[in-house]
């Protein structure tokens, strides 16, 4: 018998679903009911004509659990297909965060300077606050947020990861 790895890995899965009531509840219920992790989850309609939505889930588990998660998702009747992007090959992941920083003087200048390095945009500002919008992969957002903490970070809102396969590969399948 081949040895089974106990190592926990993070995987990004892209799930094509019928955009019908309850479909998100099915996915979330599956994760909570079977004790799987959800690190982030995004969902939006992507094809109005065909009435399809894409759910992107970042999850973690041992290889056996990850295989189960994919198989369990595919079992859900309104799901057209599941792509484990982490396994299937190169892909792009992007997340957006809105980061509110309070501060005056030196700290305010420093916040702006770091935002510039990270290509974060100020989308709102008052005399003593900024809201930065930053787009990137999860690691970049984490790094930015960490740097903002000592500079007066008081609120963060993140979208979770959206992901897509690189190159000519088409993820949608039945």
- Interface ranges with other proteins (CB under 8 A): 1-2, 4, 18, 21-22, 25-26, 29, 33, 64, 67-68, 71-72, 74-80, 174
The smaller minimum CB distance to other proteins, of residues 27 and 120, is found at 27
CA distance 120 to 106: 19
The smaller minimum CB distance to other proteins, of residues 31 and 144, is found at 31
The smaller minimum CB distance to other proteins, of residues 1 and 117, is found at 1
CB of 76 to other proteins, least distance (A): 8
The smaller minimum CB distance to other proteins, of residues 64 and 169, is found at 64
CA distance 22 to 42: 15
**Strand runs (DSSP E) across the chain, as ranges?**
9-18, 40-47, 52-61, 79-84, 91-102, 121-126, 129-136, 153-158, 162-165
Which has the closest alpha carbon to 95: 53, 52, 145, 60?
145
CB of 32 to other proteins, least distance (A): 9
């Amino acid at each position: 018998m081949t040895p089974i790895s106990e190592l926990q890995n993070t995987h990004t899965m892209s799930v094509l679903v019928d955009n019908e009531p309850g479909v998100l509840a099915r996915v979330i219920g599956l994760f909570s009911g079977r004790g799987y992790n959800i690190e982030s989850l995004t969902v939006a309609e992507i094809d109005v004509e065909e009435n399809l939505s894409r759910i992107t889930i970042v999850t973690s588990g041992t290889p056996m659990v990850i295989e189960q998660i994919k198989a369990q998702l595919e079992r859900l009747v309104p799901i057209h297909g599941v792509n484990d992007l982490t396994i299937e090959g190169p892909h792009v992941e992007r997340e957006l965060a809105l980061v509110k920083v309070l501060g005056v003087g030196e700290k305010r200048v420093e916040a702006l300077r770091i935002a510039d390095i990270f290509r974060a945009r100020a989308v709102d500002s008052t005399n003593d606050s900024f809201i930065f919008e930053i787009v990137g992969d999860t690691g970049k957002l984490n790094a930015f947020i960490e740097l903002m903490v000592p500079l007066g970070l008081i609120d963060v809102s993140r979208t979770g990861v959206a992901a897509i396969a690189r190159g000519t590969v088409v993820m949608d399948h039945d």
